[in-house]
């Protein structure tokens, strides 16, 4: 009996041990595995079309109180015949158990930098503030269900467990500072290979450039998700990036510091400030989709065939758009239709309750800013007809903003001050003005036809009995049928368009130009997509 009791106690002990070791929560396992992290820094050359256009780095440091992850990116982007220097920096503060404590992310390009700072409130919320230039921070709180990671930490989290294996899938809860939202992303390990990675360099006195003198062979695994906003590339067994292909034809390759940074710095010093960028690397041209036909002026109707790996998750069907399989039909609303819909526009408390989201202020969409609100009231004047107000806003934004390509995060208040920008700036300001006078408005993004090609574009939709597309960039009220809406919403939704780059093809089946005067006023300038 004594022996039996001892044996049972031993088996029970093994069961407790097995349960503790094999059925730990993912957070606990991640915390224990994070103790293996050691300080290190890697450098990357940023290439486009085989030429270096920038530099990136990623560093991990450990302190007595936690883990610090710093990433930096700087590149010269060719857009519409001009070069724009874009930079991004992030600093993520973690506990030693890989629990998010806080972060600072900064983006900078043509305009003043946009800075997002945030901190975790346990595992129930993320509180963050968005600051543009020297403006006041705009605070917001986002609820989360449990611990979350930032996108830059995905490879590290995937590799902290056992050696990566092809076919494994991970569901990772993320907070994305660029989209200012949370979501679960499914990431899988797709392939395994070997890479030869430079780790030291020497200076060639004749050319003044650094060249590789020693390389290491690195075992790497390819990771990726269906959502191309987040990291897809090759990582080593410690979860550090080896190589990554990004949307727009950009490639990051791990290399020695001197090859990545010093060679780029030398090239920038030697380059002529007046030289024009290579057209083959122009982002607008690289991401445009050929239409295959030449269409006329403002289109009243358009039918196309969309060919893509997947069209799931897009807002293609509804309102003026009809999706049947992969066939998309778009029609432009007429003035008679807009007038007929006017009685269906709610007012008062019914309006506010029904369109709470489409009337609300958001970060970078300052509906309640005194200057924005005062301008909106002045443009609306004594008009009470929502259609009249919507058209007046289109005309004012179109006439008042210079058409300039920008590489920045659109900020309605700053756009109003600068009076310039591309479709993002026009749309951001229009939506803020519309909401300021209780006109429900939202951002639509997708493709617009211009001179034989479809370009990625953004425009507003306003509720006039139904959702109506308008375009203050092109000066169209309503927008013509050459606007193919793929998503509605802010940055979090717009980023979904990245998975269309290089994968979407369009066949125009039925161009049907509108008859003169049938669909309302159309300004003459096509603007800049």
Backbone CA torsion sign across 333, 491, 53, 247 = negative
Instruction: pLDDT band for 347, please (50, 70, 90 cuts).
Output: confident
DSSP code of 419? Answer: -
**Mean pLDDT in residue range 224-232:** 68
Q: Are 268 and 255 in contact (CB under 8 A)?
A: no
CB contact burial 402-418 (16+ within 10 A = b; e otherwise): ebebbbbbbbbbbbbeb
Most confident of 36-45, 357-366, 506-515: 357-366
Residue 141's pLDDT is 82
pLDDT at 521 over 70: no
Q: Are residues 138 and 208 in the same domain?
A: yes
**Are 198 and 55 part of one and the same domain?**
yes
What pLDDT is stored for residue 53 in this prediction? 86
Are 70 and 174 in the same domain? Answer: yes
Name the residue with higher pLDDT: 64 or 401: 401
Residue 529 counted as domain residue: no
Q: pLDDT band at residue 404, thresholds of 50, 70 and 90?
A: confident
Element (H, E) at 186: strand 181-204
Nearest-10 crossing angle of helices 423-436, 370-380: 80
pLDDT higher at 295 or 196: 196
Same domain, 370 and 399: yes
CA distance 50 to 378: 52
Place of tokens 């756009």: 415
According to DSSP, the β-strands at 420-421 and 402-403 are parallel
Do 347 and 381 have their domain in common?
yes
Instruction: Tell me how far apart the alpha carbons of residues 194 and 197 are, in angstroms, rounded to a whole number.
Output: 9
pLDDT at 29: 53
CA gap 188, 262 in Å, rounded: 35
Phi, psi (degrees; rounded to nearest 5) at 129: -135, 140
Question: Which pLDDT belongs to residue 121?
Answer: 86
Q: Does residue 443 contact residue 497 with C-beta atoms inside 8 Å?
A: no
Q: Can you give the length of the chain in residues?
A: 529
pLDDT recorded at residue 30: 54
Task: Specify the 3-state DSSP secondary structure of 16.
Answer: helix
Q: How far is CA 70 from CA 237, 251, 344, in A?
A: 19, 20, 52
What's 303's domain CATH number? 3.10.620.30
In a domain, 491, yes or no: yes
Q: What is the pLDDT of residue 16?
A: 46
64 class by beta-carbon count within 10 Å (0-12 exposed, 13-18 middle, 19+ buried): exposed
At 289, give phi and psi (nearest 5°): -120, 125
Q: Is residue 15 part of a domain?
A: no
Provide mean pLDDT across the span 490-499.
Answer: 80
* Whether 60 and 191 share a structural domain: yes
224, 266: one domain: yes
pLDDT of residue 375: 96
Residue pointed to by tokens 């408005």: 441
Instruction: Tell me the pLDDT tens digit for each residue of 85-119.
Output: 888 888 988 887 778 888 898 888 766 688 888 89
Instruction: Look at residue 440 in the predicted model and tell me its pLDDT.
Output: 95
Please say whether the beta carbons of 298 and 469 come within 8 A.
Answer: no
**Omega before residue 478 within 30° of 0, cis:** yes
**Contact indicator for 381, 391 with CB cutoff of 8 Å:** no
- CA–CA gap between residue 481 and residue 331 (Å, rounded): 5
**Predicted confidence (pLDDT) per residue in 8-55, tens digit:** 555 555 454 444 433 344 455 555 555 667 788 999 999 887 888 889
Helix-, strand-, coil-residue percentages of the chain, each rounded to 5: 25, 40, 35
**Selection from 417, 478, 426 nearest residue 457 by Cα:** 426
CA angle, residues 115, 132, 366, in degrees to nearest 5: 120
Residue 8 domain flag: no
Could you tell me if residue 52 is inside a domain? yes
Q: Which residues pair with 214 in a beta bridge?
A: 200
Q: pLDDT above 90 covers what percent of the chain?
A: 35
Q: Are residues 325 and 449 in the same domain?
A: yes
Q: Report helix, strand or coil for 288.
A: coil
pLDDT for res 448:
94
Handedness of CA 26, 29, 31, 35 (dihedral sign): negative
Cβ neighbours for 95, distance < 8 A, ≥ 6 positions apart: 65, 66, 67, 101
Report the pLDDT averaged over residues 357-365: 89
Residue 457 is classified by DSSP as: E
Domain carrying residue 170? 27-280
Compute the Cα dihedral for 417, 496, 152, 214 and give only its sign: negative
pTM above 0.85, yes or no: no
Judge if 462 and 360 occupy the same domain: yes
Do residue 441 and residue 458 come from a single domain?
A: yes
Contact between residue 201 and residue 258 where contact means Cβ atoms under 8 Å apart: yes
Q: Which tens digit of pLDDT belongs to each residue from 445-489?
A: 999 998 889 999 999 999 998 999 999 999 999 999 999 999 999
Is the CA virtual torsion 448, 450, 455, 460 positive or negative? negative
Query: Mean pLDDT of all residues in the chain?
Result: 82
Contact 240, 251 (CB under 8 A): no
Do 124 and 189 fall within a single domain?
Answer: yes
pLDDT (tens digit per residue) in 245-288:
876 678 999 999 999 998 888 877 666 444 555 555 667 777 88
Q: Which two tokens stand for residue 377?
A: 């009231």
Q: Write the CA distances from 266 to 75, 158, 208, 263, 340, integer angstroms.
A: 14, 36, 8, 5, 64
Q: Is residue 446 part of a domain?
A: yes
Percent of the chain with pLDDT over 70: 82
Inter-axis angle of helices 386-400 and 370-380, to 10 degrees?
A: 120
How far apart, in Å, do the first and last CA atoms of the chain sit? 84
Number of domains composing the chain: 2
348 phi-psi bin (left φ>0, alpha ψ -120 to 50, beta other) = left
pLDDT at site 493: 81
Asked, for residue 450, whether it belongs to a domain, the answer is yes
Instruction: Decide if pLDDT at 374 tops 80.
Output: yes
The residue out of 249, 280, 311 marking a domain boundary is: 280
Longest CA–CA span in the chain (Å) reads: 100
How far is C-alpha 413 from the chain's CA centre? 21
Return the pLDDT at 110: 64
pLDDT digits (tens, 9 = 90+) for 132-185: 766 777 788 888 777 777 777 778 777 766 678 888 888 877 777 666 667 778
Contact present, 373 and 367 (Cβ < 8 Å): yes
> Please, which pLDDT band fits residue 307 given cuts at 50, 70 and 90?
very high
Contact 219, 192 (CB under 8 A): yes
Question: Does 3 map to a domain?
Answer: no
Are residues 78 and 197 both part of a single domain? yes
- pLDDT tier, 371 (very low <50, low <70, confident <90, very high otherwise): very high
């Amino acid at each position: 009996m004594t022996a039996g009791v001892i044996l049972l106690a031993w088996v029970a002990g093994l069961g407790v041990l097995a349960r503790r070791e094999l059925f730990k929560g993912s957070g606990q396992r991640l915390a224990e595995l994070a103790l293996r992290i050691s300080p290190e820094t890697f450098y990357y050359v940023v290439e486009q079309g085989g030429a270096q256009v920038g530099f990136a780095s990623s560093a991990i440091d450990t302190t007595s109180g936690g883990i610090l992850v710093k990433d930096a990116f700087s590149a010269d982007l060719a857009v519409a015949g001009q070069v724009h220097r874009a930079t991004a920096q992030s600093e993520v503060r973690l506990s030693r158990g890989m629990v998010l404590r806080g972060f600072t992310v900064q983006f900078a390009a043509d305009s003043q930098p946009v800075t997002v700072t945030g901190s975790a409130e346990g595992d129930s919320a993320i509180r963050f503030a968005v600051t543009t230039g020297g403006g006041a921070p705009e605070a917001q709180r986002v609820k989360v269900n449990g611990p979350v990671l930032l996108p830059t930490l995905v490879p590290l989290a995937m590799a902290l467990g056992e050696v990566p294996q092809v076919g494994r899938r991970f569901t990772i809860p993320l907070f994305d500072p660029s989209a200012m939202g949370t979501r679960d992303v499914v990431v899988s390990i797709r392939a395994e290979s070997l890479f030869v990675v430079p780790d030291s360099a020497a200076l060639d006195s004749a050319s003044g450039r650094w060249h590789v003198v020693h390389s290491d062979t690195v075992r790497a695994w390819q990771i990726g998700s269906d959502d191309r906003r987040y990291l897809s590339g090759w990582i080593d067994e410690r979860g550090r990036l080896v190589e990554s292909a990004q949307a727009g034809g950009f490639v990051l390759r791990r290399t020695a510091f001197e090859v990545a940074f010093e060679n780029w710095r030398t090239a920038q010093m030697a380059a002529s400030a007046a030289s024009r960028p290579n057209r083959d690397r122009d982002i607008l041209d690289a991401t445009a989709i050929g239409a295959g036909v030449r269409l006329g002026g403002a289109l009243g109707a358009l039918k196309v065939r969309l060919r893509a790996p997947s069209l799931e998750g897009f807002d293609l069907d509804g309102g003026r758009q009809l999706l049947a399989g992969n066939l998309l039909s778009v029609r432009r609303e007429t003035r008679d239709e807009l007038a007929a819909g006017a009685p269906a526009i709610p007012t008062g408390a019914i309006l506010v309750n029904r369109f709470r989201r489409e009337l609300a202020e958001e970060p970078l969409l300052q509906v309640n800013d005194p200057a924005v609100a005062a301008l909106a009231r002045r443009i609306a004047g004594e008009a009470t007809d929502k259609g009249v107000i919507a058209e007046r806003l289109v005309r004012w934004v179109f006439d008042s903003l210079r058409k300039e390509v920008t590489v920045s995060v659109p900020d309605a208040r700053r756009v109003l001050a600068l009076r310039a920008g591309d479709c993002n700036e026009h749309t951001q300001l229009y939506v803020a003005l519309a909401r300021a006078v209780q006109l429900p408005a939202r951002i639509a993004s997708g493709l617009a036809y211009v001179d034989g090609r479809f370009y990625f574009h953004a425009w507003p939709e306003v509720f006039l009995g139904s959702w109506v597309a308008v375009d203050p960039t092109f000066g169209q009220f309503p927008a013509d049928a050459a606007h193919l809406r793929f998503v509605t919403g802010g940055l979090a939704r717009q980023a979904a368009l990245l998975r269309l780059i290089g994968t979407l093809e369009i066949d125009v089946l039925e161009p049907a130009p509108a008859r003169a005067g049938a669909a309302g006023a159309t300004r003459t300038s096509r603007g800049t997509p």
